[in-house]
Amino acid sequence: MKNKYTKLNRLFKDKLVVFYTSNKDQLDVFSPKIKKINKKLFVIGKIPSKYSQGKDCGVSWKAVTDFVIFNSLKDYKKSCKKLKKKKEKSV
C-alpha cells in the first residue's frame, strides 16, 4: 500500500540515517521506515551501534527536526572520524 511517505521510505532503504529531535537528541537508525502506530507517525528501524546493534528503535516523526542520510555505516564512521579530527585541530 502506497502512502505519502513511500518516497521517504525508499530514500531511507538500506541507508544509515541520523535523526535529530527538537530536544537535541540524536538517533542513528539503519534502513528506517515511517509507520503509523495508533494514529501517530513513527520512524522505526534498527540501531547500528556496537552496543545495541540490531535492536529495534523508533522516534516520533513529529519530534524529528533534521536528518542526515549516509549510504552505509562505513560512510557514517568515516564522517565521524573527519569531524573528530576537525574538532581536535580547533582546540
Q: Is 56 part of any domain?
A: yes
pLDDT, residue 14, reads 92
Domain count, the chain: 1
What number of CA atoms fall less than 13 Å from residue 28's CA on the CB side? 16
Beta strands in the chain (DSSP E): 16-21, 26-37, 40-46, 56-60, 64-70
Answer yes or no: is 22 within a domain: yes
pLDDT band at 2 (very low <50, low <70, confident <90, very high): low
Q: Which domain holds residue 32?
A: 6-90
Q: Is the model more confident about 53 or about 39?
A: 39
The CATH code of the domain that includes 18 is 2.30.30.100
Share of residues in the chain with pLDDT > 90 (%): 53
Neighbours of 42 (CB within 10 A): 20
Question: Residue 75 domain-assigned?
Answer: yes
So what's the pLDDT on residue 49? 74
39 within domain boundaries:
yes
1 domain-assigned: no
Domain membership flag for residue 67: yes
What does the pLDDT average to over 24-48? 92
| pLDDT for res 86 | 66
More confident residue, 19 or 1: 19
Contact present, 5 and 34 (Cβ < 8 Å): yes
What is the pLDDT at residue 73?
Answer: 83
